[in-house]
Amino acid sequence: MKYIDEFRQQTLARQLAGAIRKEADSSRTYRLMEFCGGHTHAIFRYGVQDLLPDNVEFVHGPGCPVCVLPTGRIENAIELAERHGVILCTYADLLRVPAGLGKSLLKAKAAGGDIRMVYSTQDALQIARANPEREVVFFAIGFETTTPPTAVAILQAQAEQLQNFSVFCNHVLTPSAMQAILDAPEPVAIDGFLGPSHVSTVIGSQAYEPFAEHYLKPIVIAGFEPLDVMQSSLMLIRQLNEQRHVVENEYTRAVTREGNVKAQRLMQTVFERRDTFEWRGLGLIPHSALKLKPDYAAFDAEVRFQLPTIKASDVKGCECPAILRGAKRPVDCKLLGTVCTPENPMGSCMVSSEGACAAYWSYGRLRDGRGKQQKAQAGKA
């Protein structure tokens, strides 16, 4: 696969590993936060940590839109299908996320709710066109990569004068989340950031410049493949050694300083910032999420269906809030592997395959001792 296989080559990996080993100062630790869940997933799936020296650590960030979606929003979506009888269109990632009272979209579907998995907002539009007598709601989630496709769908629905299509908007913003982490009352030891690949394709590398400047932390926009992650780690190590703190772009094949201006304009046309939004595990963050502008109220499911705010309660003992901020690691949570597993996720970090706990558990739990594994293995099959 072009532009994929070349960026996974083992020979280059070993070379880069050598370079990192050489340049990493053995008298210190480098704590690098990979913001994006996709990077967390890649790090565990390819075993990138094995090629790095022990004093280079990855701190997992909150860039997982499924993980940070409050369960109350899932309950709203279930209510749309069950009480309002809409056709609810959702990306597959959300189907199994447990909400309150043991519910989930998948269970609601089994109980008769018309919940359909889609791969694109275009599919949702198609369903709306094909079912003019039914209300169709698209359950929108995602950071800035996934937001422009929702904007396109809304504008298309408007142009076609679709009367039965609306969006339940849960789009969130990357810079706000980064800020929340950096502004946390108990600051977490993070030396630098691996910036998200595809969010940056849209928002551009310039979006991160204020952070590097203000918080004095180096940021390297990293490509999606494991070699990109290693090269970006090397670039961060170099900056830290040289005591620089600027934004660098390793993913130059897809990211420019300005980003995708067309996509940005489409987002600005349709969406505006909410005053505040609840992030699972991170609490209320101001100006961190989007809602539809009043001009598009007809396509806003929250307006159309008067959805109530449903408060979610966190599970006792669940360390997701600390893990999402990078303050704790998956192994620091007592629930990991005992009560909380991918089949029975207790908190946000386990519900999505790119949540730190899920990625660690599924790919990497052999690293840190086996005690918990035995209990979980005994429960299998």
Name residues whose C-beta falls within 8 Å of residue 349's C-beta, 6 or more positions apart in sequence: 64, 67, 281, 320, 323, 324, 330, 355, 356, 357, 358
Sign of CA dihedral 135, 89, 95, 273: negative
Q: Write down the residue that tokens 């704590």 correspond to.
A: 31
Q: What are the beta bridge partners of residue 241?
A: none
- Strand order of the β-sheet with 136-142 is 115-117, 87-90, 136-142, 165-171
Q: How far is the CB of 18 from other proteins (least distance, A)?
A: 4
Q: What angle do CA 282, 287, 191 make, to 5 degrees?
A: 55
> Looking at 166, 170, 197, 348, which residue binds other proteins (CB under 8 A)?
197
> What token pair was written down for 286?
């101001």
> What token pair was written down for 331?
């192994």
159: contact with other proteins by CB under 8 A: no
Q: How far is the CB of 192 from other proteins (least distance, A)?
A: 17
* Binding pattern for the stretch 40-79 against other proteins, x by CB under 8 A and - elsewhere: ----xxxxxxxx-----------xxxx-------------
Residues between 128 and 147 that touch other proteins (CB under 8 A): 142-143, 145-146
228: contact with other proteins by CB under 8 A: yes
Q: How far is the CB of 126 from other proteins (least distance, A)?
A: 8
170: contact with other proteins by CB under 8 A: no
Residues between 247 and 286 that touch other proteins (CB under 8 A): 250-254, 260, 262-263, 266
118: contact with other proteins by CB under 8 A: yes
Query: How many angstroms separate the CA atoms of 165 and 301, rounded?
Result: 9
**Quick one: 211 or 361, whose CB is closer to other proteins?**
361
316: contact with other proteins by CB under 8 A: no
> Looking at 218, 226, 281, 326, which residue binds other proteins (CB under 8 A)?
226
* Binding pattern for the stretch 320-349 against other proteins, x by CB under 8 A and - elsewhere: ---------------------xxx------
**Quick one: 179 or 352, whose CB is closer to other proteins?**
352
Per-residue burial over 52-69, b = 16 or more CB atoms within 10 Å of its CB, e = otherwise: beeebbbbbbbbbbbbbb
Sign of CA dihedral 294, 296, 297, 302: negative
**Quick one: 169 or 304, whose CB is closer to other proteins?**
169
Query: How many angstroms separate the CA atoms of 61 and 376, rounded?
Result: 26
Cβ burial of 306 (10 Å; 0-12, 13-18, 19+) is: exposed
Query: How many angstroms separate the CA atoms of 94 and 103, rounded?
Result: 12
* Binding pattern for the stretch 77-96 against other proteins, x by CB under 8 A and - elsewhere: --------------xxx-xx
Q: Radius of gyration (Cα) for the chain, nearest Å?
A: 21
107: contact with other proteins by CB under 8 A: no
> Looking at 59, 194, 199, 356, which residue binds other proteins (CB under 8 A)?
199
353: contact with other proteins by CB under 8 A: yes
Binders of other proteins: how many residues, by CB under 8 A? Answer: 94
> Looking at 170, 179, 288, 352, which residue binds other proteins (CB under 8 A)?
352
